[in-house]
Amino acid sequence: MDIAQVFAAIPARYPELRGQVAIVTGSCRGIGQGIALRLAREGMKVVITGLDEAEVSSTVDALTAQGAEALGLAGNLEETAAIDQLFNETVRAFGTVDVLVNNAADLRRMPFDQVSEDLIDYQLKVNVKAPLMLAQRAGAIMRPKQYGHIVNVTTPGAVRTHLPGLPYDATKGAIDPITRALAVEWIRDGVRVNAVAPGWTPSRAPEPWWEDVANRTPIGRPVQLLELGAAVAFLVSPDASAVVGQVLYVDGGVTAQLHPPGLPI
C-alpha cells in the first residue's frame, strides 16, 4: 500500500475523533494497516504493532511523514509482558487509550487431521486470550473515564465455515460471543464494543486465481482494506452511538450468499 498516496485521497469524516488515541494490533501490514491508516487520517494518534520491527518502523515512518502522530511497538502479544508494555508505552506517550482494535491473529487453516496441538495452543493464545487480555487492560483505562471503544476483528468463518477452517475459524470465531458479552457488560460504563468481519481482502499483487474467487463473491471483487478502515472509523464515531455488541460483516455479501453463482445447492 502506498500510504502517502492513499492518505491524501481519504476524506476525514469524523472531526470528533481528532486527537483521540487508538491502538491497532497487527497494524504494520494488511487489514490492520488499512484500519490504522484510516484512523490516522481522522486525526487520531495511532499505535502500530506487529511482530516485525522493520515493518512496524516503516509504517510509523510513512504515517508520520503525512503529519500523523504514530507510535510503533513490536512484540508478540501472546506474552503478557508485551501487552503490559504496549499499554504502558501508549499511556506514557499519549496519556490515555480511547480505542482498541483487536486485529492481530494467526490465520492458519488446514485439514483437521494435520492440525498439531502446538498450533491449537498458539492460536488460542493469540486469537482468543490476547484479545481478552488487551480488552481487559483497555477497559481499566476506558471505564473510569466513562469513554472508549473496542472493535474486534472476527471472520465470516464464525458463521459460514471455511474449508478447511480449523483451528482458525474456531479460535477467531470465539471473538463473536466475546464481543457481545463485553458490549453488554461495559456499555453503561461508557465503553462500546463491536466487531467487523472482513471478507476476502488480499493485500498483495493480483494473481491469476483472483478472478475465479471474485466470480464466486456477490460483490465481484475483493474487499478493499480502506473499506474495512471506514467501517471501523464509523463504529468508533458518534454516528454509531447506539451500535452495541454487533458484528458488521464487511464481506462483499459472502455471508448473505447460500451458494456461489452457477453452483446451486
Q: What percent of the chain has pLDDT over 90?
A: 85
DSSP letters, the chain, are --HHHHHHHPPP--GGGTT-EEEETT-SSHHHHHHHHHHHHTT-EEEEEES-HHHHHHHHHHHHTTT--EEEEE--TTSHHHHHHHHHHHHHHHS---EEEE------B--GGG--HHHHHHHIIIIIIHHHHHHHHHHHHHHHHT-EEEEEE--GGGTS--SS-TBHHHHHHTHHHHHHHHHHHHGGGTEEEEEEEE-----S---TTHHHHHHTSTTSSPPPHHHHHHHHHHHTSGGGTT--S-EEEESTTGGG-SS-TT---
Residue pair 97/148 in contact by the 8 Å Cβ criterion: yes
| Predicted local distance difference test score (pLDDT) of residue 204 | 66
Whether 205 has a pLDDT exceeding 80, the answer reads: no
213 band by pLDDT with thresholds 50, 70 and 90 = confident
> Across the chain, which distance is largest between two alpha carbons, in Å?
56
263 band by pLDDT with thresholds 50, 70 and 90 = confident
4 band by pLDDT with thresholds 50, 70 and 90 = confident
5 band by pLDDT with thresholds 50, 70 and 90 = confident
Whether 206 has a pLDDT exceeding 90, the answer reads: no
| 37-56: burial string, b at 16+ Cβ within 10 Å, e else | bbbbbbbbbbbbbbeeeebb
Residue pair 245/184 in contact by the 8 Å Cβ criterion: yes
| Predicted local distance difference test score (pLDDT) of residue 115 | 97
**Residues belonging to the active site:** 168
Residues contacting residue 196 through CB under 8 Å, at least 6 positions apart: 151, 152, 153, 154, 228, 231, 232, 235, 247, 248, 249, 250
Predicted confidence (pLDDT) per residue in 115-163, tens digit: 999 999 999 999 999 999 999 999 999 999 999 999 999 999 999 899 9
**What does the alpha-carbon distance between residue 250 and residue 228 come to, in Å, rounded to a whole number?**
7
Closest CA to 180 of 165, 194, 197: 194
Q: Say which residue, 215 or 153, is predicted with more confidence.
A: 153
Predicted confidence (pLDDT) per residue in 38-51, tens digit: 999 999 999 999 99
| Integer angstrom CA distances of residue 35 from 22, 59, 166, 228 | 10, 12, 26, 7
209 band by pLDDT with thresholds 50, 70 and 90 = confident
| Predicted local distance difference test score (pLDDT) of residue 261 | 87
**What does the alpha-carbon distance between residue 229 and residue 181 come to, in Å, rounded to a whole number?**
24
Please state which of the four CATH numbers 3.90.650.10, 3.40.710.10, 3.40.50.720, 3.40.50.300 is assigned to the domain occupying 3-253: 3.40.50.720
226 band by pLDDT with thresholds 50, 70 and 90 = very high
Three cell numbers written together for 13: 469524516
pTM given for the model: 0.96
| Predicted local distance difference test score (pLDDT) of residue 148 | 98
Task: Give me the mean pLDDT over the 206-225 stretch.
Answer: 88
| Predicted local distance difference test score (pLDDT) of residue 262 | 85
Whether 219 has a pLDDT exceeding 70, the answer reads: yes
| Predicted local distance difference test score (pLDDT) of residue 124 | 97
265 band by pLDDT with thresholds 50, 70 and 90 = confident
Average pLDDT, the chain: 95
